[in-house]
Structure 1
Amino acid sequence: MIREIRTTINDETKRALLSGGSKVHTFAAAEEVFHEGDIADCVYILIEGEMEVTHRDENGATHLLNVLTPGTIFGEMSVFLNSHRTATIIARTRCRALALDQEKLINSVSTIPSLSHSFLRVLASRIRDINEKYCDAITRTYQLALGCALLAAEQEESGEYQLDLAALAKQCGGEVSVLLEVLRQMQKEGIVSQLQHNFRMVKLRYNKPKLLEFMGRTAVIPPTIKPHA
């Protein structure tokens, strides 16, 4: 689920937003706020009720990504980027939300310090979410690459397997240090044992059934990185 970042909008900030021309929209339960693919025309701040964030995948299945509660800013990324909505927002209960178009948003952020701080926190969190997802995707790639390399490696007379980590890292476009960290994690899980390395070549033994099970877990539901609504 998307990390929810709540604002700290007090009554004074609300009055400032309303006096600046921000409108309060009321949505009935089950009413759609905006739909995935719509042109983004404003940012919302939920002040009452709960809303659902959903996304439809390439197979047409709808997935619940998050539930928004009062104080949550949403829809900001598409407005800042002048892009289309990447998710659908539906009112779970009767809701009220402040709406700011791009011009009002910029004016409000520049004149209301508490609002600018809130948006900074939201944007920092969005960036952190995306970074974490990219890191997870990279780690999964390394895990699968190591698994494939182990299965393809020839067993030596000693019963060990030898891998050229530098060559594998080059193939993956990554770092030897990350591959070693993944191997250490695999060692903790009992997948590999007797791990020896010199930061280029590594020797080890591995448990094939556990390796195959590990690769199966890694390959299930690869992470999809999408901007926020």
Structure 2
Amino acid sequence: MAREIAVFVGNNGSTAALGEPGKVIVYRRQQGKWQPVSEAVLQLDPTSGMAGVRQQLAAMIEFIGRCRVFVARAVSGLLYKELEQAGFSIWEFDGRPLEFLEYILIQEELAARQPAPLKAVTPTVVETGPGCYQVSLKELQQSGTGMTSKQVLQPLLNGNFYLVEVLCGHIPPWLEADWACGKFDCTAERAADGVKLTIKKKSCGEYNEQANLD
């Protein structure tokens, strides 16, 4: 496999959430070291609507070239879906590229050597009341197969929910980022078998188009 990884970074040199101001840097592993081989400034403009953002993202994908590993601090909504449909392996890391590039390469190479995937793990979402749900992500996080935590939770969090209770081995980075941005009222407590999250919607109503780009 090609030893190239594309990373979206902010002005401080650390990863940024895709959609924030920053630039895409393509790194290549050469003679045992990671070197940047190309970079381009990227500022997605949500005011251009979904069609405009798709065009901007398509230009970024064309710039990246054959590389199909993409890293950012957070990737969500339409952006995640578009990259996934383009065949990218998407990683969410908070830090500077040289701190995690080698780890990601090793994991990607190990995954490429794996036999056919095991039976998919699909967590069961239980509705405990009107707009109230419970779901456990522990088995999914431990197995590394099946759906991602984002695929399980985002349909709930983008819908007309009141409360979602989540049991997990660790808090997913993308959800931690949304929590830090104040998108939800969220509490976490340690449990004997993991971490219990209680997520409440801050306000009811429809999401506007711009929110769907986040």
Q: Structure 1 length as normaliser, TM-score? A: 0.26
Normalising by the residue count of structure 2, what TM-score does the alignment of the two structures yield? 0.27
Which structure has the larger Rg over C-alpha atoms? 1
Greater relative CO, 1 or 2 (CA 8 Å, sep 6+): 1
* Structure having the larger proportion of residues in helix: 1
